[in-house]
Amino acid sequence: MVPTDEPGKRRILMPGVFDEAERAEPPGEPEPGLVPVRDPGDVGDPGTADRPGSEGDEIGGAAQAAPPDVAHSSAVMAIGTVFSRLTGFLRTVVIGAALGTALLGDAYQAAEMIPYTVYELLLGGLLASVFVPFLVKRRMRDADGGAATEQRLLSVVLLALAVLTVLAVLAADRLISLYAGGYSGRQREVAVLLTRLLLVQIFFIGVSGLASTLLNVRRRFGAPMWAPVVNNLITMAAGLVFLWVAGRGQTTATVTDGQLTLLGLGSALGTVAQSAVLVWLLRSAGFRWRPRLDLRGSGLREAARTATWMLLYIVVAQIGVLVTANVATRAGDRAAATGSGLAVYKFALVVFQLPYAIIAVSVITALLPRMSAHVADGRRDLVRADFSRGLRVAAALLVPLWLGMLVFAVPGSITFFAYGSITPDGARRIGTVLMVFAVMVLPFTLHQLLMRVFYALGDTRTPGLIAVPAGIAQAVTAFALLAFVPARQVVIGLPAAYGLFYLVGAAGAALVLRRRLGGLDGRRILRALTRLHLAALPALAFAAAVVWASGRLPGDRVPALVAVTVGGLGGGALYLLTARRMSIPEIGYFTAMARSRLRRS
């Protein structure tokens, strides 16, 4: 059975909704006999594995290390994730205002991506997928509470990080050739300089990852969710100072090395501050580092061996990042037009992943302990029910959000991005790319939930194998866009290539899990998705009418703000009203939970 909340503790949103859903959907006949591939406690969670950025991994260690009662009742994690993502979005807005969506903005986005992808590929994946569960077990089993193992891990990884950072800084020119091979002339010089400055972050990104890991195994889950806020605020400040010093409309031809150094070092300072906050919090939790390199008998090598299939999944996802960056930078260079390269793609990607980070992450964090407990009991019917509830509950919020994103993509982008060096036309390009991304919200979430079922089963091999054809589909589609589509339009098609990875992966995962779980409750899921979309149609029509009407007003920002505000609030209220009139149970779970809380308060 899944442990319940301890008396007196408030529940976070999603577990409370799941409790309401369980009461409304009593289990049928037990279906025992489910056998995990391996102990789920040995399997870490790599997050989405393809999202390089300062926010880090909102799921990963916390969801795996936390016992159900702690993860079940900790609102700090959820609130921290929301603030991290919202300040990350504001950071993106400020960087866009400072650098724009032309070649200078593309160069910064390429340089900003590289340290995170290098770290994730070579060390970050190991930390999330291997060492969190490994340290949790050693902390419980070793006579010293795992202290020696932690000292060894920290010593080895810090040494590796120092070497990796030096080598990466020296190889900045080659890394730009790898990620942005189409750059030449001054744009290449700008990208190399920014990359060299930002690659210093690798060491501090790693320190943040290590500190978060050690905090997670000590059940300090809030700090890793909140620390990126510090990073985001400092990087925002660096962008604003750059805008004040250099002015708007800078290009690769006019920007100076001094101005670039100011921006690059300011951005790197954010990562340094984030790691310093986490180290201070780890020290306040009682941890003291004593260097140890005696690895014989530590078990670290054996733990790393168990990660082979998980690392395959991470490598494939990172190759997808590499392919996307190459295609976007080459297309932007060929088009030589504002809004044709990596910058508009990255800005739209940040907005696209906001619903997942705020809603689906909460669902996954609540589901993992439940599913792992059901696997331990051999109950495939309960695992199947948890997956179905998780997807349907997430869809109750994500369906109106993806449809709203589709309608409000352009006016919303003008509202939030059309400042400084980004013109309203540049913001419209971001909105156009975001419209394609919006279609991928549900497939992306479905894929992530299916992967968590595998992790609950202790199976890392199947996700790794499924990632290979999915990654091939993504890469082939991206390169086909570059070869056959006009350069200015390539970036608009790239979200479709990105989404193809998740569509192919979700299809393969669903086929495998249907056999293992005796079905996936597909009929109920399809019925719920159909009814949720039908309930959203009146709101969609209202929102579209507001966008059309506001477009008749003079100007750019004011009509866009009116469209987003009036259309969003009115459409949201209309969706809730329609869903209630249709008696959609997934919406009813939220309202029932709200009523029960009001009665208790």
Residues 281, 215 contacting (CB under 8 angstroms) = yes
pLDDT (0 to 100) of residue 154? 84
Residues 443, 506 contacting (CB under 8 angstroms) = yes
SS3 assignment, position 6: coil
Helix axes 585-600, 522-550, angle to 10 degrees: 80
pLDDT (0 to 100) of residue 49? 60
In a domain, 478, yes or no: yes
Q: What is the pTM of this model?
A: 0.89
In a domain, 534, yes or no: no
- The H-or-E segment that residue 333 falls in is helix 308-335
In a domain, 364, yes or no: yes
C-alpha span between 241 and 198 (Å, rounded): 17
In a domain, 447, yes or no: yes
The DSSP line for 469-525 is HHHHHHHHHHHHHHHHS-HHHHHHHHHHHHHHHHHHHHHHHHHHHHHHHT---HHHH
> Tokens in use for 439?
């279609």
* CA of residue 581 relative to chain centroid, distance: 34
C-alpha span between 579 and 584 (Å, rounded): 6
Task: Give the mean pLDDT per block of 10 residues along the chain (601 residues).
Answer: 41 64 75 75 66 56 51 58 85 92 88 86 70 72 74 85 92 90 86 92 89 78 79 93 91 91 92 92 84 68 71 87 92 83 92 82 75 84 90 92 95 94 93 96 92 87 93 96 94 95 95 92 94 96 95 90 94 94 85 67 57
pLDDT (0 to 100) of residue 10? 45
pLDDT (0 to 100) of residue 20? 72
Number of domains present in the structure of the chain: 1
C-alpha span between 460 and 310 (Å, rounded): 5
In a domain, 575, yes or no: no
pLDDT (0 to 100) of residue 276? 93
In a domain, 332, yes or no: yes
Residues 84, 232 contacting (CB under 8 angstroms) = yes
C-alpha span between 304 and 289 (Å, rounded): 22
In a domain, 596, yes or no: no
Residues of the domain holding 182? 13-27+44-516
In a domain, 1, yes or no: no
Q: Kindly list the distances between the CA atom of residue 514 and the CA atoms of 96, 296, 506, 510, 520, in Å, as whole numbers in the listed order.
A: 44, 43, 12, 6, 6
Q: Kindly list the distances between the CA atom of residue 280 and the CA atoms of 152, 202, 230, 286, 596, in Å, as whole numbers in the listed order.
A: 20, 19, 14, 10, 40
pLDDT (0 to 100) of residue 3? 41
pLDDT tens digits along 153-182: 888 888 989 999 999 999 999 999 988 887
C-alpha span between 596 and 20 (Å, rounded): 10
C-alpha span between 44 and 65 (Å, rounded): 9
* CA of residue 440 relative to chain centroid, distance: 14
* CA of residue 260 relative to chain centroid, distance: 28
Burial of 583 (0-12, 13-18, 19+ CB in 10 A): exposed
Greatest CA separation for the chain: 72
Q: Where are the alpha helices (DSSP H) in 247-297?
A: 257-284
pLDDT (0 to 100) of residue 9? 43
C-alpha span between 563 and 558 (Å, rounded): 9
Quick one: CA torsion of 494, 495, 500, 501, rounded to 10 degrees? Answer: 90
SS3 assignment, position 581: helix
Residues 269, 126 contacting (CB under 8 angstroms) = no
